[in-house]
Amino acid sequence: MRWLLLTGTALAFVLCFTRHSGGAMGLWLLIGLVGLLATGLAFAQARIASSARTESLSAYELQRLREGKPPLDR
């Protein structure tokens, strides 16, 4: 999805700089800027999700970690 956003954003900027009327240029520039923000957030979300923990620990396992003991294997 983030690659589609990147492609769409690049296309919006290309369309912005090839338009001759001010209204169309402004519209495509606005779409490109919104797409730029959405693309940046999508890439940040993918980066965060790639390093996030997939499982959460229970309260008992967290207590064992605080005591210096390893958590139980599931």
pLDDT at 33 (0 to 100): 97
pLDDT at 68 (0 to 100): 85
Domain boundaries, the chain: 2-66
The predicted model scores a pTM of 0.68
pLDDT at 59 (0 to 100): 84
Q: What is the pLDDT of residues 35-68, one digit of tens each?
A: 999 999 999 999 998 887 777 778 888 888 888 8
Cα–Cα distance, 39 to 5 (Å, whole number): 6
What single string gives the DSSP state of each residue in 31-71? HHHHHHHHHHHHHHHHHHHHHS-SS---HHHHHHHHTTPPP
Contact between 32 and 5 under an 8 Å Cβ cutoff? The reply is: no
Rounded to the nearest integer, the mean pLDDT of the chain is 90
Has residue 74 got a pLDDT over 70? no
Cα–Cα distance, 69 to 26 (Å, whole number): 61
